[in-house]
Structure 1
Amino acid sequence: MKTGMFALALGLLVLRWLPALPSTGWLLVMLVLALMLLPFRTYPLAFFLFGLSWACISAQWALDDRLRLALDGQTRWIEGRVIGLPQQTGEGVRFELADSRARNARLPKRIRVSWRGGPPVRSGERWRLAVTLKRPSGLLNFHGFDQEAWLLAQRIGATGSVKDGERLAPARHAWRDAVRQRLLAVDAQGREAGLAALVIGDGSGLTGEDWRVLQDTGTVHLMVISGQHIGMLAGLVYALIAGLARYGCWPRTWPWLPWACGLAFTAALAYGLLAGFGVPVQRACVMVGLVLLWRLRFRHLGLWWPLLLALNGVLLLEPLASLQPGFWLSFAAVAVLILAFGGRLGSWNVWQVWTRPQGLIAMGLFPVLLVLGLPISLSAPLANLVAVPWISLVVLPLALLGTVLLPLPWIGESLLWLAGGALDGLFRGLAWLAGYVPAWVPAEVPLGFWLISLTGAVLLLLPKGVPFRVLGWPMLLLAVFPPREPVPDGQVDVVQLDVGQGQSLLLRTRHHTLLYDAGPRSGTFDLGARVVLPSLRKFGVGALDVMLLSHADADHAGGAAAVANGLPVKRVVGGETKKLPAFLGTEPCVSGERWVWDGVSFELWQWPDATNGNAKSCVLQVQANGERLLLTGDIDRAAEQAFLASALAVPTDWLQAPHHGSRSSSSWRFLEGLVPKSVLISRGRGNAFGHPHPQVTERYQALGSQVYDSAEHGAVRFRLGAFSSPVVARAQRRFWRERLP
């Protein structure tokens, strides 16, 4: 049976890597075949087919619930009920709608919307809203966060921005929102948002700096309701009853073990209900329930059995859970502890039990974090050594008890005040540690080297005395310093990052690196920090020789500060030096300036008569082995005409479409002078500016230019000087991604 359960888990997990879902006919064939195999006792294959079929059926239901293409980009009046906990931000509010309906249109079951400058919204309210609807989408970069996968895993069928609205009915049965409002209203020494995150799972009140500190110290799991918190509460209840029974304080007529397991599971479910019972909480409750059942009846089956059952239980309830990084991290952490503690001879003293798990988890999760593309905290073992018991034994009990006792005057508020002070002290210590040891974003590691690293981690988790265990260290560290193929002399590795309605391109020769524009920033939403900087580190960039900011508009230079703060930048050049932050030390763009890196020529140009920001864009021409790339920023038609009089106006292989393909650029004369073979367009899907304009698109088509649009293709990567075809991020097929046009 264990083999069958393992095969079922494999079938459910295969969904994560499917390029496309099988048709209905193939699903029926798999189900019939699975039923036919059962009488012949071929359980593994039958269970595998059952798992794969159920996962594909569930995923197809989620895809079928997406917004129809005909409604994409339309503004409709819809009615719906607010679910979950709305997230108030400095710019507005984000929330989800369920039971939505619109006239003459079928809507998805769940819609995620944002309302810029909108009024306070409460869970349980019913609203009538004018929403510009969009199909689920997101930025797609190499080794970056996949927004489309996350939205599908949440079963969100559409997103949208609210233009106007009216409240139709007040909140009903919104007790979680009431608890949140009560927690945010008490005096918790400035950590009210942190307590709301711990008690009800609402982390929207934590600041960006808070999340950075948690990420740098590897303690994010402590501020979200995870298996650790639910398991800790269940463990406290179990230990309390066991202690009472041991000292004769428990009624003899009540068997203590069934009561301990039952009440511990009840406490876990109650905490899960308070946290909203989302997918991660469901996963934690299933795991706790199976562990308690194993403790009650099936201890003879070993430790791996409940983990396998929990894995299958979670995936049967929600097959799309495998699309979320938290799923892999939670099960991997438990597997690491079982592998490290199970089957060892002798006992560990209190110091070893306290210190060793953190080091073992850090070692075991290293390959998992690496393959998921997540930052790796080098200070996590030390930080968690203090933070885990402090949160589990001090902050969380005080916070939960204080929340329960809030109806009693002074008592609940006093406990929450103490919990907030304890949490604030922890954050101060973590911030100090993060200032010295920030999180490390490793560069891309080839699959072969990652597999070797994974093998090394497993070897190190085995008991002492296992043959070749010492080889685990060099195998593990191979992922830290993998051999890399350098860019050949005379060539440039070019990557147009997907930064939405903005622009950022990375150019690397054999020994030098240049960043052309740094992505957009709007308020606290900084894609320089969220996309550009992590992407640079993923490509192994340790420093920039030049950061060239075409001009000072926020969609081109908004992320420059984040990049400069995250990486050493030797030189910054800009088209509008006076409008850029002074600390960057920006040098002016000088027409005719030329330099050569590793056999590749770079030359600048700027229209001397320009008066506004777009026209003053600093243009860069790159030439490698006779293949040319022209980066134009946001120049307009007048600047284009002036450019045609320069020595750089020659036939071009690659052209970055001026001003994201707007109607005010890409004039016929300009395009006829350059005759670009390929065109790069960086813009946001469904942007408010209508980029690229249909007339501009028609001009490129008339010239026979191949257009690579970030909104349709994601990030684009090619080797200038090799005359090779580019690679686009969306070419890596996954069943949840829209197909290339």
Structure 2
Amino acid sequence: MRLGMIALCSGLLCLRFLPVLPGSGALLMLTVLGAALLVSRFHPFGLFLLGLAWACTSAQWALDDRLPSELDGQTLWLQGRVTGLPEADAGVVRFYLEAAESRRTALPQRLRLSWYGAPPLAAGEVWRLAVRLKRPRGLVNPHAFDYEAWLTARRIGATGTVKAGERLHAVDGPSGWRDSLRRRLLAVEARGREGTLAALVLGDGSGLSDADWQILQATGTVHLLVISGQHVALLGGLLYALVLGLFRLGWWPRQWPWLSFACGLAMLGALGYGLLAGFEVPVQRACAMLAVLLLWRWRFRHLGVWLPLLVALTLLLLAEPLASLQPGFWLSFAAVALLAWCFSGRLGPPAAWQVLLRAQWAMALGLLPLLLALGLPVSTSGPLANLLAVPWVGIAVVPLALLGTLLLSLPGVGGSLLWLAGIQLELLFALLAWLAELAPALQLTAAPGWAVLLGMLGVLLALSPVGVPVRLFGALMLLPLLWPPVVAVPDGQAEVHLLDVGQGLAVLVRTRRHEALYDAGPASRSFDSGEKVVLPTLRGLGVRQLDLLLLSHADQDHAGGAAALLAGLPVTRLLSGEAPALQLSRPAEACRDGERWQWDGVQFTTWVWSTATNANDASCVLLVEAQGERLLLTGDIGVAGERHLLDSGRDLHADWLLAAHHGSRSSSSAAFVAAVAPRAVLFSRGWLNSFGHPHPSVVARYRAAGARLHDTAGEGALRIRLGRHGALAGERGESRFWREK
């Protein structure tokens, strides 16, 4: 039985690592062969094949439900129902629309939409909307968040921006009760922690400020303050403990079997809490795990502790194979498995304080390889923060918040309980903020796959019972994970990464001992690519300090992410072609025309038109040359700026040219293209951007000059080894079945 479930789960989990999905013929063969093997002695292999076939079929259904390619970027009038809790952030409301219909075409079952300056929206309402729709697509960078995997895991067939709309039907029936409850929670007085209470009770994190999120992420406590599987399990455990306590005190009716009532009450409480949270996939996962655990406790305890975990894993993956695309899936099951590993098979029950200490030690050490494999930050203050916060939230905050919510209809009672919960949260956040400042989170250098697997084996050995002779050896197996081998850039060469930051620019140039960043990516009120994209990518690549941050000019699509970079990394020198226009935490030096320097055998030269009459032409241009191979980074210079470079008499020839101004027709003049004569041109731009970059005339001009064209929107982040005179590599070249080409 156990072997069969392991084989079935292995087949289901293989989906996460497939570059492409097999065709319908191959799926049919897998299914037939798997069914045939079920009646043989190779039945575990048959279950593996059936699990793989079902996972691939389910994933193919999700891909087939995406917006047709011919409608990508088109604006349609459609009608649908708002589901879930709309999230408002910096003037943008994001929400899900389901069962959408259009007269022009069939639409995906589920859409994720953004509406700038939206009117009040509520779950259950039916709207008629004009929406610019896009196929699921995200930025693709090494070691950064994979938005396309996130959308696929939630079976979102299209994203879009609402241009106009009208409400056709108000909330009908019980569909809007969560929205109504959220409004009531946000209206109570809770010491400014009303949004946190909504996160705890309803799973709505939109009421948490950016500062709150940073504190929670730095201390590894996000799982505590936004409803998660832990809260569901916690409530179930409290209800179970309540019945057990009454029984041990002799206050439980003897004619009622206490164990049956304890398990049933715990499950009902968990399901009720799950409904409050909208019963999303993480909550479904927790309820399934708790149901299996309670059933095991009630009737099947003699079968061992690993069986309920295996059954829950099997049921969840059968119900939703795409769950394996979510980091939370791996972290939650790994956390439960680590606790089982640490507490099962030990002699004698540990004391309560030993349970807390051992659990936090297991989480801190045991989840480290998985966090690094998923590209997530590691909280150095997490063990202490969780040691204090877990019992605090579980015993003091959650019961007060839930009880206060249930009693909101009683004047003064529910509000008072929520006020007390708010005081607890205010004190807790003060403590967490202090811990975050004392020991901030780290994002370590990405480790190779073999180091991650070795580290996973090492933590299992290190967390073995006392007396196991290989425990110390297990700790040593973590060393390649914490200090992974780094292949240094050879002297005389430069490694160049043109990051995929959408409609903006960020270029990392690395030599053997130095790192420079040319521009910092765009930033807006709702998304800072410096914080969300550039900084995680640099840290994942092992960049711990920038010797130079060169901001070509002060436009937001080039310098918007600079503030986050200056806060997150030490920067030795800050340079810009528009230094006085920048508003940063430190002043920038003015770019100097003709400045030259050498790092590790690589030559750098800056050019700037100091008397330019507009910001774009004031861009600081950077030329990088390694062993005769040249890269020219041009910022946003226009035709006038190009003419100034041509008139200066400089040698502008370059093998690689970053197209100025993202390929705008105001740049890339014929004379400039002829003078540079690039063999390859790089475009940094957003997919289906509203500016129409790159302009067709510019694309035609470069093609006529015989240059190869590379585009971050189509290829993801681009990587060049300057000095090798070799080819370019794009991140989208690393195939993933969910990733758009």
TM range (shorter): over 0.9
CA–CA separation in structure 2 for the residues paired with 1:109 and 1:445: 38
- Map residues 643-654 of structure 1 onto 2, 5 A cutoff: 643-654=645-656
* 1:397 maps to 2:411: no
Query: How many Å separate the matches in 2 of 1:25 and 1:484?
Result: 43
1:530-577 superposed Cα distances (whole Å, 9 cap, x missing partner): 111111111111111111000000000011111111111111110111
Question: Matches of 1:448 and 1:292 in 2, distance apart?
Answer: 37
**Is the contact made by 1:88 and 1:120 (CA closer than 8 Å) also made in structure 2?**
no
User: What code does the residue aligned with 2:657 have?
Assistant: L
Partner of 1:111: 111
Q: What residue is the counterpart of 1:216 in the other structure? A: 218
> What is the rounded CA distance, in whole Å, between the counterparts of 1:126 and 1:194 in structure 2?
28
| Structure 2 Cα separation of the partners of residues 546 and 650 of structure 1 | 23
Name the CA distance, whole Å, in 2 between partners of 1:419 and 1:267: 20
Q: In 1, are the aligned partners of 2:89 and 2:526 still within 8 Å (CA)?
A: no
Cα 1:563/1:52, change in 2 over 3 Å: same
Matched residue SS, 2:223? helix
Counterpart for residue 154 of structure 1 = 154
How far the C-alpha of 1:43 sits from its partner, in A, is 2.1
Q: Does 1:25 align with 2:25?
A: yes
Q: Give the AA of the match of 2:609.
A: W
Task: Tell me the equivalent position of 2:131.
Answer: 131
* 1:616-644 CA-partner distances (Å, limit 9, x unpaired): 10000011000000000000011111212
**Percent of matched pairs sharing the same residue:** 59
Q: Secondary structure at the match of 1:434?
A: helix
The yes-or-no answer on 1:611 pairing with 2:613 is yes
Counterpart code for 1:450: V
Among candidates 626, 629, 633, match of residue 631 of structure 2? 629
| TM-score normalised by structure 1 residue count | 0.98
> What letter is aligned with 1:75?
T
CA distance in 1, matches of 2:351, 2:268: 32
State the distance in 2 between where 1:254 and 1:347 align: 28
CA contact (8 A) 1:444 1:538 kept: yes
Q: Which residue of 2 aligns with 1:255?
A: 257
Deviation beyond 3 Å, 4+ runs, structure 1: 646-650
1:620 pairs with 2:622:
yes
Q: Deviations over 1:571-600 (max 9, x none)?
A: 111011111025332111111111111111
Please give the residue correspondences for 1:329-728 in structure 2 after superposition, counting only pairs within 5 Å: 329-581=331-583, 583-728=585-730
In terms of mean alpha carbon deviation, does 602-611 or 567-576 score higher?
A: 602-611
What letter is aligned with 2:378?
Answer: I
Tell whether the 8 Å contact from 2:459 to 2:474 is kept in structure 1 after alignment.
yes
Q: Equivalent residue for 2:232?
A: 230
> Shift of the alpha carbon at 1:408?
0.5
What is the root-mean-square deviation of aligned Cα atoms in Å? 1.1
Deviates more, 1:643-652 or 1:59-68: 643-652
* Distance in 1 separating the partners of 2:15 and 2:463: 29
Q: Deviations over 1:458-495 (max 9, x none)?
A: 11111122222111222213311223221111111100
Partners of 2:458 and 2:473 within 8 A in 1: yes
Q: How far apart are the structure 1 equivalents of 2:40 and 2:475?
A: 46
Cα distance in 1 for partners of 2:313, 2:557 equals 43
Once the two structures are TM-superposed, the CA of residue 524 in structure 1 deviates from its matched residue by 4.3
Partner in structure 2 of residue 199 of structure 1: 201
For the 8 Å contact 2:563–2:584, the answer to whether it is kept is: no
Measured after TM superposition, the shift of residue 219 of structure 1 is 0.4
Which piece of structure 1 moves more, 437-446 or 700-709? 700-709
Q: Distance in 2 between matches of 1:631 and 1:72?
A: 31
State how far apart, in whole Å, the 2-side matches of 1:471 and 1:582 are.
48
Determine whether 1:142 maps to 2:130. Answer: no
Deviation string 1:46-70 (CA, Å, 9 cap, x unpaired) is 1111111111111011001100011
- 1:160 counterpart SS class: strand
Q: What corresponds to 1:50 in structure 2? A: 50
Q: Which residue in 1 is equivalent to 2:191?
A: 189
Query: Secondary structure of the equivalent of 2:30?
Result: helix
**CA contact under 8 A between 1:561 and 1:584: conserved in structure 2?**
no
How many residues are treated as equivalent by the alignment?
Answer: 739
Aligned to 1:244: 246
Which residue in the other structure is 2:5 paired with? 5
How far did residue 695 of structure 1 move?
1.1
The aligned residue for residue 74 of structure 1 is: 74
Residue 102 (structure 1) aligns with? 102
Separation in 2, partners of 1:24, 1:601:
54
Report the AA paired with residue 125 of structure 1: E
State the alpha-carbon separation in 1 of the partners of residues 55 and 363 from structure 2.
29
Cα deviation, residue 351, structure 1: 2.2
Q: Which amino acid aligns with 1:101?
A: E
**Contact 1:93–1:120, Cα closer than 8 Å, also in 2:** no
- Could you say what secondary structure the match of 2:207 adopts? coil
Aligned to 2:283: 281
Distance 1:249 1:568 in 2: 62
Looking at structure 1, the residues matched to 584 and 740 of structure 2 have their Cα atoms a distance apart, in angstroms, of: 42
Q: Which runs of 5+ in 1 are unaligned?
A: none
For 2:330, the aligned partner's letter is W
Q: Given the alignment of the two structures, is residue 171 of structure 1 paired with residue 171 of structure 2, yes or no? A: yes
Contact 1:661 1:681 in 2 (8 A): yes
Larger CA deviation: 185-194 vs 253-262: 253-262
Q: Is the 8 A contact 1:546 1:573 kept in 2?
A: yes
What is the CA–CA distance in structure 1 between the aligned matches of 2:42 and 2:228, rounded to whole Å? 37
User: How far off is 1:690 after superposition?
Assistant: 0.5
Question: Which whole-Å CA distance do the structure 2 matches of 1:605 and 1:158 have between them?
Answer: 43
CA distance in 1, matches of 2:448, 2:124: 48
Q: Identify which range, 144-153 or 248-257, moves more after superposition.
A: 248-257
526-535 vs 344-353, greater mean Cα deviation = 344-353
2:421 and 2:610 mapped to 1: Cα distance?
A: 62
- Structure 1 residue 686, shift from structure 2 partner: 1.0
3-state secondary structure, aligned to 1:19: coil
- Whole-angstrom distance in 2 between the partners of 1:581 and 1:153: 39
